[in-house]
Copies of this chain bind each other. A is one copy, B any other.
Amino acid sequence: MRLLNRHPTRPTGILLAALPFVAVLIAYWIGSEIRLAANPQDKLLPAPETIMNTAGRLFTEPNKRTGEILLWADTFASLRRLAFGVGIGALISLTVGVGIGLLPYVRRGLSSFVAVLSMVPPLALLPILFIVFGLGETSKIVLIVIGITPFLIRDLSQRVLDIPHEEIVKAQTLGASTWVIALRVVLPQILPRLIAAIRLSLGAAWLFLIAAEAVAAEVGLGYRIFLVRRYLAMDIILTYVIWITLLAFLIDFALKTLSRKAFPWLGGGL
């Protein structure tokens, strides 16, 4: 039988899915053992149990001075920035995307500009950004917005253009104005796509967040990683990396679920 027609049984499937994770864990464990055997003080690949201990401590032990648990404070601060950045980016891109997709005038005026914008490396502009928006929360949020919005706009405006012309014509024959078409025909139909596009750009959003927090912040996941990187405290870094991965996964899952629940008319599509 051809390999492509062979389906694993249920238990085999679960085993297969677990395999790469287990392999990575074992590889790490071996690497860590080797390094620690050579130098028990090695910080690069701390033993798994060290990481577990550190993680336990980070998640539960409050800072003596301030009384708050740093990891949660960092998480909260970072998620807040992420939410604002992505939220503002989504709002801008919805407006501009619908404009570009629906109105020929706006399309002519903005589409090549957005195309060029999306090519500018935002990290290189960090100094200017910080000077224009200050070093507070604004500049971090703005970096996320600048980083993801051109992509979102291009994706959404393409989706607006993909809406069958027939639907737009139909709406016009029912007497809809441009405004009503944007609001009642186009907007609801690109909302699921907005969620999909946000899911795609969340990776970039995290990246920009971490980069911005590395430059100027007093709290935040990226800040903490940056701070302890100087001491090569890999147990803390790895805890944070795993935690960020988990958060990213949860956010992605939440968005996917939201999309399925909120848009029943998609009928399983997307």
Contacts and interface: CB of A to CB of B under 8 A. Distances in A.
A103 B3 contact: yes
A119 interface: yes
Give the interface size class of chain A: 35 or more
A100 to B, nearest CB: 12
Given A127-B229, A127-B232, A178-B4, A252 B104 contact: no
Given A44-B131, A127-B237, A105 B17 contact: no
A95 interface: no
Given A168-B4, A237-B127, A245 B203 contact: no
Contacts of A203: 118-119, 121, 151, 204
Interface string A150-187: 01000000000000000010001000011001000000
Interface of A: 2-4, 6-8, 12-13, 16-17, 19-21, 44-45, 102-105, 108-113, 115-116, 118-125, 127-128, 131, 151, 168, 172, 177-178, 181, 203-204, 206-207, 210-211, 222, 225, 229, 232, 234, 237, 240-241, 244-245, 248-249, 252
